[in-house]
Amino acid sequence: MIGFGYDDSQLKERRHPTRDELDAITRDHPLMVVHQSGHIATMNSRGLEFVGYGAGTANPAGGVIRRREGSREPDSVLEETAFFNAAGKLLPSLGPIGLRLFAREGARLWARFGYTTGQEGRATPDTAEVLREVADQDGLPIDAAVYADVLVDTAAMRP
């Protein structure tokens, strides 16, 4: 399960949702909620387990797995590459139909809020292909600028 668009500075609590709060929604399925910045996410316990993040997991280069106070146990908040790596493990579990639905409905949501252009700033070849398929099959209600993740594969950098 994936949600997106929360902003901790706009929440009544003025903080990110906690692992325990997300566990109250579901303990059976991985749950990731992506911050509006696209650089941070929070996950429930099942999600952290699914992506392999635990007390013994080191912070990845360029990222932070925030910890519960006084312990090494993840608290739910993942920053930068800790989030990107987790999303890279979770998104494929949606399957091809789920990924196309995710892309199509995300674009429709942006269009409903008046956005005319969206961008994927670090697309893997698979992500670029899903976006291309959705655009070709259904059309997208917004323009999409897709930038290849050159650390993964430069072959995706084509018009």
**pLDDT surpassing 60 at residue 150:** yes
Q: Which residue has the higher pLDDT, 152 or 83?
A: 83
Mean pLDDT of 105-134: 88
Q: Is there a contact between 57 and 65 (Cβ–Cβ < 8 Å)?
A: yes
Q: Is there a contact between 18 and 75 (Cβ–Cβ < 8 Å)?
A: yes
Q: Which residue has the higher pLDDT, 148 or 140?
A: 140
pLDDT band at 139 (very low <50, low <70, confident <90, very high): confident
**pLDDT surpassing 60 at residue 159:** no
Q: Is there a contact between 35 and 6 (Cβ–Cβ < 8 Å)?
A: yes
| Residues pairing with 146 in the sheet | 120
**pLDDT surpassing 70 at residue 157:** no
pLDDT band at 71 (very low <50, low <70, confident <90, very high): very high
Mean pLDDT of 15-22: 93
Average pLDDT of the chain, as a whole number: 89
Looking at residue 148, what is its pLDDT?
81
pLDDT digits (tens, 9 = 90+) for 32-70: 998 888 889 999 999 999 999 999 999 999 999 999 999
Mean pLDDT of 112-117: 93
**pLDDT surpassing 80 at residue 144:** yes
**pLDDT surpassing 90 at residue 114:** yes
Q: Is there a contact between 79 and 63 (Cβ–Cβ < 8 Å)?
A: yes
Q: Is there a contact between 91 and 80 (Cβ–Cβ < 8 Å)?
A: no
Q: Where are the alpha helices (DSSP H) in 14-147?
A: 19-25, 45-51, 81-90, 95-112, 125-137
